[in-house]
Amino acid sequence: MNNRLIVIAGPCVIEDEEMTLKMAEKLKDTCGGLDIDFYFKASFDKANRTSIDSFRGPGLEQGLKILEKVKDTYQLKIVTDIHEPYQAQPVAEVADIIQIPAFLCRQTDLLVAAAKTGRMINVKKAQFLAPWDMKNVVHKLEETGNRNIMLCERGTSFGYNTLVVDMTSIVEMKKNGYPVIFDGTHSVQKPGGNGSSTSGNREYVPYLVKAAVAAGADGVFLEAHFEPDRALSDGANMIKIEDVRPLIEKCLNIRACI
Decide if 106 contacts 126 (C-beta within 8 A): yes
pTM reported for the whole predicted model? 0.94
Task: Label the pairing between strands 156-157 and 163-164.
Answer: antiparallel
Task: Label the pairing between strands 36-41 and 77-81.
Answer: parallel
Q: Where exactly are the structural domains of the chain?
A: 5-257
Q: What is the pLDDT of residue 236?
A: 85
Residues forming beta bridges with residue 153, ordered by sequence position: 182
Q: What is the pLDDT along the chain (258 residues), one digit of tens a residue?
A: 568 999 999 999 999 999 999 999 999 999 999 999 999 999 999 887 667 867 788 899 999 999 999 999 999 999 999 999 999 999 999 999 999 999 999 999 999 999 999 999 999 999 999 999 999 999 999 999 999 999 999 999 998 888 999 999 999 999 999 999 999 999 998 876 555 456 678 899 999 999 999 999 999 999 999 999 998 887 888 999 999 999 999 999 999 998
Residue 101 burial class via C-beta count within 10 angstroms: exposed 0-12, middle 13-18, buried 19 and up: buried
Q: What is the pLDDT of residue 235?
A: 81
At position 207, the amino acid (one-letter code) is Y
At position 133, the amino acid (one-letter code) is D
Residues forming beta bridges with residue 157, ordered by sequence position: 163
Q: How far apart are CA 3 and CA 114, in angstroms?
A: 24
Residue 90 burial class via C-beta count within 10 angstroms: exposed 0-12, middle 13-18, buried 19 and up: middle
At position 146, the amino acid (one-letter code) is N
5-257 to CATH, choices 1.10.490.10, 3.20.20.70, 3.40.50.300, 1.20.120.1200: 3.20.20.70
